[in-house]
Homo-oligomer: A and B are copies of this chain.
Amino acid sequence: MANVGEEVSNKQVIFKDYVTGFPKESDMYVTTSTIKLKVPEGSNAVLLKNLYLSCDPVMRILMQPVVPSDFSSYTPGSPLNGYGVAKVLDSGHPDFKVGDLVWGANTRWEEYSLTTATERLKKIKHTDVPLSYYTGLLGMPGVTAYAGFHEVCSPKKGEYVFVSAASGAIGQLVGQFAKLFGCYVVGSAGSKEKVDLLKNKFGFDDAFNYNEEHDLDAALKRYFPEGIDIYFENVGGKMLDAVLLNMRTHGRVAVCGMISQYNLDQTEGVKNLMHLIFKRIHVTGFAFLDYQYLYPKLLDTVLPYIKEGKIVYVEDIAEGLESGPAALVGLFKGRNKGKQVVVVARE
């Protein structure tokens, strides 16, 4: 156990260089630097011990040299960063004290971080749940799923809901929120094991393995003979094209992610957009960024559900910072079963 004031070694996962195509483990490397476990005199920084790191699809976007506005590329030679959970070891900031647990963005992939970006850290008040949940159910993916379903999708009881990448960090929650709300929910995922999770663990009404369907349109017609009212979009490309053919009049598409497209040099063209007019469909791209105000509501809703067993959350936990690159790469190959987390330390 390191003590405050001590100079210690600090393992890091460094982003090597900009990526084209699928990210590989060799696009990152693990190195060790040193850090003094103390906030410099007069600074309002905090010194964090990083506990859990989140692997999120958006991280692929940040591996490119040119990124959309509101985003910033990773810096080659610097640690990766993303959402994470950390403990305050030392603080020069009046809002944070030693021992505080925090979650937020910009967590660097290293054992210890000195940071002044405290505006993006939120204090963790409820610790009677797994702390790793603050990278998922009780963090960015939780708000995204909650806002995406309840605000963006404008659901009505009894509606037909389709969720792609449904066993992922966000998809598993959208399905459960939709079931609790009274919708009929079908999910797609990439393996038999994940389909079993959807049906038996998360309580989806039905689920299918998209890898076993050559004709996604036919598959959707089988699972939604009446059509789809709400599509929670996590994958893009061919799946979106097939969904558009099966949407009902006044259907809604909440575009949360398009993971099938992030690693392609040429994204797939979506051909059935005329159905937006035929069925008068609303499509909304959205992000956590615009819905952070819902966080207290998420906690009020979800914490009791967790305790009552009405919501479950499946995580795929990679042990140790060294396992980070493989875990992140695995996310884009669909290797993760549930929310992909990397444990740096448990306390």
Rounded to whole angstroms, the CA-CA distance of A121 and B33 in the bound complex is 78
Contact across chains for B277 and A256 when beta carbons are under 8 A apart:
yes
Give A275's nearest chain B residue, CB to CB: B68
Main secondary structure of the interface of A (DSSP, over half): loop
Given the interface pairs A271-B268, A272-B267, the reply to whether A282 lies near B284 with Cβ below 8 Å is yes
Within 8 Å of chain B (Cβ to Cβ): is A8? no
Partner of A274, one of B69, B261, B279, B289: B261
Partner of A283, one of B272, B279, B282, B290: B282
Contact across chains for B271 and A266 when beta carbons are under 8 A apart:
yes
Contact across chains for A69 and B273 when beta carbons are under 8 A apart:
no
Shortest distance from the beta carbon of A238 to any chain B beta carbon, whole Å? 10
**How many copies of this chain sit in the oligomeric assembly?**
2
Shortest distance from the beta carbon of A263 to any chain B beta carbon, whole Å? 12
A266 — which chain B residues lie within 8 A by C-beta?
A: 271
Per-position 1/0 for A201-236, Cβ under 8 A of B:
000000000000000000000000000000000001
Contact across chains for B71 and A273 when beta carbons are under 8 A apart:
no
Max chain B CB contacts within 10 Å: which of A266, A273, A274? A273
A258 — which chain B residues lie within 8 A by C-beta?
A: 273-274, 277
Given the interface pairs A271-B266, A271-B269, A284-B282, the reply to whether A277 lies near B255 with Cβ below 8 Å is yes
The 4 lowest CB-CB distance pairs between A and B, nearest first, are A269-B269, A276-B285, A68-B278, A283-B283
Given contacts A68-B278, A269-B270, A277-B285, 16 further A-B contacts (CB under 8 A): A68-B275, A68-B279, A71-B278, A236-B273, A240-B273, A256-B277, A258-B273, A258-B277, A261-B274, A269-B269, A269-B271, A270-B270, A276-B284, A278-B285, A282-B282, A283-B285
Which positions in A face B, CB cutoff 8 Å? 61, 68-71, 236, 240, 249, 255-258, 261-262, 266-287, 289-290
